[in-house]
Structure 1
Amino acid sequence: MGGNELTQRLANKLIKPLILFGIEQPWSGQIESTQAWLHTKLIRVLNVSGSIESSIPASTQ
């Protein structure tokens, strides 16, 4: 089980808000939607998880 899957399972189990997006998606829409989500959910503590850089070939270029 990877970090993303574990984070998703724990968030669901603990009834915590969760937002997922991928590095392969355009950033332009993700920034605004993430800001709106943070504001709507009144997020005070944010846990960020993701794949290790070496598992995403384009991220090292």
Structure 2
Amino acid sequence: MLCNQLDEPEMAQLRGIRGVKIPVTDLDRSIEWYAEVFGFEVEWEFEDADGVVRVSRAT
């Protein structure tokens, strides 16, 4: 942990987020929702241990 002269912790700085996996019960419906609300589109997909995972990004 970084500390300043008063021994108060400094806030970590993020440069970005590489990815987030959000489990959903209805993948097709969720893809539509994220596309409509956030403008996401499926960029690529791969098979995970629990099924196919589609990776989206905002357009």
- TM-score > 0.5, shorter chain as reference: no
Give the structure, 1 or 2, with the largest relative contact order (CA under 8 Å, sep 6 or more).
Answer: 1
- Higher strand proportion, which one? 2
Larger of the two Rg values belongs to structure: 2
- Higher helix proportion, which one? 1
